[in-house]
Amino acid sequence: MPATPATTASSNRLSALLSRVGLDWFFFGLIGVVVLAYLAPGIGSAGSPVPWRRITSLGVAVIFFLYGLRLSPEKLKAGMRNWRLHAVVQFTTFGAFPLLALAARPWFGSEAGQTLWASVFYLCTLPSTVSTSVVMVSIAGGNLPGAIFNASISSLLGIVLTPLWVSAVLHTGDAGGTNLGSMATDLALQVLLPVVLGVLLHGRFGSWAERHKQGLRLFDQSIILLMVYTSFCESFAENVFRDIRTTDLLLLALGMVALFVVVYAIIIGVSKLLGFSAEDQVTALFCGSKKSLVHGTVMAKVLFASTAATGVLLLPTMLYHALQILLASVIAQAIGRRMAARLQSAT
């Protein structure tokens, strides 16, 4: 039966509403690949004849190359002046978050609890998002150049600081120098080298990357879905979720809400204490409270290559990703309306 104009209009309104709060195809795709991994874990596990590790390793390198290709050195130089804003955002991202996770460690008593805590700590070491942070700052009427600078520099810092935090606290390099050296080599080949190569080629292909950013974003998201799928296939195949109860997952979700609220309060308090303008407060809030699912997924493949528990390690990252989109979109629109009303009254 063909769709009526009224049905089509209703469907378009529903799609627009879901998109405004961040519930796009990628959000539902994340849920779908986890369900698929649960139903048929053997397809994406290490025992599969498909060389998933090689495919995903190549995908990691391509994602970071494309990121470097879209990174403008000129924009980074232009955004360096507001150092107090940058210091607050980067300290929150790579300092306050991990310290909050370390403070919460005693609450994760059991062995299964320690596994969940490790996954929470990993989330807290990740850099901020790029596109989501900039979009939210734009909606809320914040300092957009500052947002672009901080989101970009956070991703670059994360290439170094995330592995350092993970190695120091989760001891991923404790098996000896060979393991640590192998991890550093993998990071250099799959992450750092592609970013550098992309930045070097920005002048020649940067405009092409900007023109095709929607298609490139679709590619990025497809690779992320594939990596999430194979990670959960490994975890389900090895039965690493056997000791994690439903109540643990519910408490983890509540913990992600609490983490968001605490970080939000810290950023607002510090921004007011330092006398930030309203625009800089908005930028600090939306850049400093985000965590990147893209970096979390691709770096887990390198940092935790020898474990089957990558699916568990990605759980808080996926929960926080959904939460930050839903809550941040509501907050951004509310702040945006308030900022617009203030500008209107001033004129």
- Kindly write down the DSSP assignment for every residue of 4-35, as one continuous string: PHHHHHHHHHHHHHHHHTT--HHHHHHHHHHH
Q: Which residues of 176-211 are buried (b: 16+ CB within 10 A; e: fewer)?
A: eeeeeebbeebbeebbbebbeebbeebeeebeebee
pLDDT for 86 equals: 93
Residue 272 pLDDT level (bands cut at 50, 70, 90): very high
Task: Tell me the per-residue pLDDT of 281-316, one tens digit each, with 9 for 90 and over.
Answer: 999 999 999 998 878 877 887 787 666 566 678 888
- Is 310:231 a contact under the CB 8 Å cutoff? yes
- The residue type at 30: L
The Cα–Cα gap between 163 and 185 comes to 12
- Kindly write down the DSSP assignment for every residue of 281-314, as one continuous string: HHHHHHHHS---HHHHHHHHHHHTTT-STHHHHH
Token pair of 5 as six digits = 């104009």
Strand locations in the chain, DSSP E? none
Sign of the CA dihedral running 183, 230, 62, 283: negative
Question: Which CATH number among 3.40.50.410, 2.115.10.20, 1.20.1530.20, 3.10.450.50 corresponds to the domain 26-339?
Answer: 1.20.1530.20
C-alpha closest to that of 221 among 305, 297, 301: 297
Token pair of 195 as six digits = 């970013």
pLDDT for 23 equals: 56
- Residue 144: is it exposed, middle or buried by C-beta count within 10 angstroms (0-12/13-18/19+)? middle
Angle at 41 between CA 172 and CA 222, to 5 degrees: 75
- Is 300:329 a contact under the CB 8 Å cutoff? no
Token pair of 108 as six digits = 């994760």
Residue 249 pLDDT level (bands cut at 50, 70, 90): confident
Task: Tell me the per-residue pLDDT of 183-227, one tens digit each, with 9 for 90 and over.
Answer: 566 666 776 788 788 888 988 888 898 888 778 878 877 887 887
Task: Tell me the per-residue pLDDT of 100-130, one tens digit each, with 9 for 90 and over.
Answer: 999 999 888 777 678 889 999 999 999 998 7
Token pair of 156 as six digits = 């670059």
Task: Tell me the backbone φ, ψ of residue 133, rounded to 5 degrees.
Answer: -60, -45
- Looking at per-residue pLDDT, the higher value among 21 and 183 belongs to 183
Where exactly are the structural domains of the chain? 26-339
pLDDT for 177 equals: 39
The Cα–Cα gap between 226 and 224 comes to 5
Task: Tell me the backbone φ, ψ of residue 292, rounded to 5 degrees.
Answer: -90, 115
The overall average pLDDT reported for the chain is 79
